[in-house]
């Protein structure tokens, strides 16, 4: 276990993770969730994959912005109300401040080639963040039960890419599969 993985969970450490991701992750809620999955699950081991899955599912059935519901749920899971408020506020305030500033100067902001070039590059990196999150989430199930992983992930991907089901419906189908066909490896 490296130094990052052994990092102790404290309110300040969790706040730093939410603040950094809220302030610097471009690409929308999915990219930020992917980035948080990396920091909270893969790098630091504060959340188990099961806890991540529960928070992710809850964020999808909570009205409003999925990312903020995820941060609230993850923060609550880790540190109760203190963590929930930390996640909700610190993941949203930096972006809100940047957005208000940019709205105030939006004509200049949109046409500035330096800013546009930096944002385009950050959005390209966000694609990498999301692909890496997919890999880290699927790596263990693919090793443990590859057929089961394929049975769940491939239809979920196709249904979503082709717009045949909403994310909520995809998660409901996966939950139904998990309920009706228990995974003996973990159950």
Partner 1 sequence: MSVGLLYLLLLKATLISFSGLASLPVVRDDLVLQYGVLSDGQLNAAVALARASPGPFGGYVISVGYFVGGVPGGIAGWLALITPALLAVPLVHYVARRAGHPRARSVVDAIVMASAALILAATVPIAMQALGNATLVVIAVASTLVLAATTLDTVWVMAAAAATGLLAAWLSMPL
Restricted to residues 48-77, the positions that interact with partner 1 (CB under 8 A) are 49-73, 76-77
- One character per residue 122-161, x = contact with partner 1 (rule: CB under 8 A): xxxxxxxxxxxxxxxxx--x------xx--xxx-xx--xx
Q: Does 9 bind partner 1 (CB under 8 A)?
A: no
CB-CB contact of 5 with 39 (8 Å): no
Q: Does 174 bind partner 1 (CB under 8 A)?
A: yes
Question: Which residues, 83 to 122, sit near partner 1 by CB under 8 A?
Answer: 84, 88-89, 91-96, 98-100, 102-104, 106, 109-110, 113-114, 116-122
Which tokens sit at 154?
A: 């491939």
Min. distance of Cβ 74 from partner 1 in angstroms? 8
Q: How many residues bind partner 1 (CB under 8 A)?
A: 120
- Residue indicated by tokens 């909570």: 62
Name the DSSP letter for residue 163: T
CB-CB contact of 175 with 168 (8 Å): no
Question: Which residues, 16 to 55, sit near partner 1 by CB under 8 A?
Answer: 20-35, 38-39, 42-43, 49-55
Min. distance of Cβ 147 from partner 1 in angstroms? 12
If you count them, how many residues does the chain have?
Answer: 187
Min. distance of Cβ 32 from partner 1 in angstroms? 7
Q: Does 12 bind partner 1 (CB under 8 A)?
A: no
Which tokens sit at 179?
A: 């309920």
């Amino acid at each position: 276990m490296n130094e990052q993985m052994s990092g102790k969970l404290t309110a300040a450490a969790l706040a730093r993770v939410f603040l950094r991701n809220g302030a610097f992750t471009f690409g929308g809620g999915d990219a930020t969730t992917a980035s948080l999955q990396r920091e909270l699950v893969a790098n630091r081991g504060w959340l188990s994959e099961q806890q991540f899955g529960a928070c992710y599912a809850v964020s999808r059935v909570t009205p409003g912005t999925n990312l903020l519901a995820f941060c609230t749920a993850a923060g609550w899971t880790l540190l109760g109300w203190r963590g929930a408020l930390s996640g909700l506020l610190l993941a949203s305030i930096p972006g809100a401040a940047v957005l208000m500033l940019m709205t105030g100067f939006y004509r200049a902001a949109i046409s500035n080639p330096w800013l546009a070039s930096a944002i385009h590059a950050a959005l390209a990196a966000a694609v990498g963040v999301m692909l890496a999150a997919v890999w880290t989430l699927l790596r263990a199930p693919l090793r443990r039960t590859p057929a089961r992983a394929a049975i769940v992930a491939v239809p979920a991907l196709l249904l979503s890419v082709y717009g045949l089901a909403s994310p909520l419906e995809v998660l409901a189908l996966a939950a139904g599969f998990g309920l009706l066909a228990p995974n003996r490896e973990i159950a």
